[in-house]
């Protein structure tokens, strides 16, 4: 599995991905899920991938080395929306080629992508591309996308990130989001690829590969845990004062008198005497 996050704010874009791949507990490895398509001064595009590694790599290969030289590529797409369509077309081409074969082995066609960047003369944009090849774009209301194991790292992003958040704080939030995911899910692992793109720079200026030897990541990991425990301890304990609305349920009264079955009718303390008498009289003599 994996976890990737891309964020688009007023100052630029932030991309973060892990490198864990696994096909079982004894087949754990690492592979990069980030690819950068750069023409300095003209465009920078970043693609993050999650899902079946063979499928995502097949899509990456098509994008880097298209089978038809006449087809548009990420290096000559006129707009970022065109670039998202190019990625979607590559996903559909891999699906046409491989989906039936995968289905014969009960393997789902599972892949998703985050594409973001800037082309000269346009603003930075961020897209999420699905396994069907369709895509959506981020908005100021929701300025980020996650793929892979997203649930553990989502709460911190929702509480912190807005379009006006400074780029360094966005990068810090992405790392805390990743640290929360690493803490709770073994299918996500170090090292991490972090790329911060400054609006209108049109070149990669800030990139880092972070592992267990990274002082900054270790500081994030240690400080975030310590501060969470500190804040948790400072929150007052619950005050147990309201017991008026306890959802009590009345106890069911069940008879404990043994029941006797004569013939096909129940007999006992709650059986009518007339029914019991009729039942006894109706029994043939033996």
* Tens digit of each residue's pLDDT, the chain (286 residues): 799 999 999 999 999 999 999 867 778 899 999 999 999 999 999 999 999 999 999 999 999 988 788 889 999 999 999 999 999 999 999 999 999 999 999 999 999 999 999 999 999 999 999 999 999 999 999 999 999 999 999 999 999 999 999 999 999 999 999 999 999 998 999 999 999 999 999 999 999 999 999 999 999 999 999 999 999 999 999 988 777 788 888 888 876 666 666 566 555 555 555 554 555 455 555 5
Residues 6+ apart with CB under 8 A from 262: 276, 279, 280, 283
pLDDT of 276 reads 47
Spell out the residues 6+ positions from residue 204 whose beta carbon is closer than 8 angstroms to its own: 36, 38, 44, 195, 197
pLDDT at 174: 98
Q: What is the DSSP letter of 26?
A: T
Integer Cα distance of 128 and 80 in angstroms: 12
Question: Two tokens at 261?
Answer: 């079955």
Upper half-sphere CA count for residue 130 (Cβ side, 13 Å): 5
Q: Of 10, 12, 18, nearest to 194 (Cα)?
A: 18
Pairing status of strand 144-148 against strand 3-9? antiparallel
Q: Are 183 and 152 in contact (CB under 8 A)?
A: yes
- List CB contacts of 183: < 8 A, sequence separation 6 or more: 152
User: How far apart, in whole angstroms, are the C-alpha atoms of residue 6 and residue 196?
Assistant: 10
User: Position of tokens 């709460």?
Assistant: 155
Phi, psi of 206 (to 5 degrees): -140, 105
Closest CA to 178 of 207, 204, 147: 147
3-228, which class in CATH? alpha beta
Cβ burial of 239 (10 Å; 0-12, 13-18, 19+) is: exposed
Task: Give the integer Cα–Cα distance in Å for 86 and 91.
Answer: 9
Q: Which residues sit opposite 20 in a β-bridge?
A: 30
Predicted confidence at residue 142, as pLDDT, reads 97
> Contact 127/89 with Cβ under 8 angstroms?
no
């Amino acid at each position: 599995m994996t976890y990737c996050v891309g964020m688009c704010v007023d100052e630029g874009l932030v991309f973060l991905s892990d490198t864990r791949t696994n096909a079982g507990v004894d087949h754990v490895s690492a592979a990069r899920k980030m690819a950068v398509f750069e023409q300095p001064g003209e465009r920078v595009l970043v693609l993050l991938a999650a899902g079946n590694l063979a499928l995502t790599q097949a899509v990456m290969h098509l994008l880097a080395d298209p089978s038809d030289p006449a087809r548009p590529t990420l290096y000559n797409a006129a707009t970022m929306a065109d670039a998202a369509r190019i990625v979607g077309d590559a996903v559909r081409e891999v699906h046409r080629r491989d989906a039936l074969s995968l289905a014969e082995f009960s393997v789902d066609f599972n892949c998703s992508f985050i594409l973001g960047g800037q082309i000269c003369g346009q603003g930075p944009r961020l897209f999420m591309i699905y396994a069907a090849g369709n895509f959506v774009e981020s908005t100021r209301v929701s300025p980020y996308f996650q793929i892979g194991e997203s649930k553990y790292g989502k709460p911190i992003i929702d509480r912190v990130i807005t379009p006006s958040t400074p780029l360094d704080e966005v990068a810090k939030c992405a790392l805390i989001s990743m640290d929360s995911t690493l803490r709770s899910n073994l299918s996500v692992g170090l090292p991490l690829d972090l790329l911060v793109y400054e609006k209108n720079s049109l070149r990669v200026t800030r990139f880092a590969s972070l592992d267990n030897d990274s002082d900054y990541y270790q500081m994030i990991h240690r400080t975030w845990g310590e501060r969470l425990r500190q804040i948790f301890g400072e929150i007052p304990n619950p005050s147990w004062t309201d017991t008026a609305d306890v959802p009590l349920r009345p106890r069911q009264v069940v008879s404990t008198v043994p029941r006797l079955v004569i013939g096909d009718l129940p007999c006992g303390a709650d059986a009518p005497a007339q029914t019991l008498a009729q039942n006894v009289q109706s029994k043939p003599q033996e």
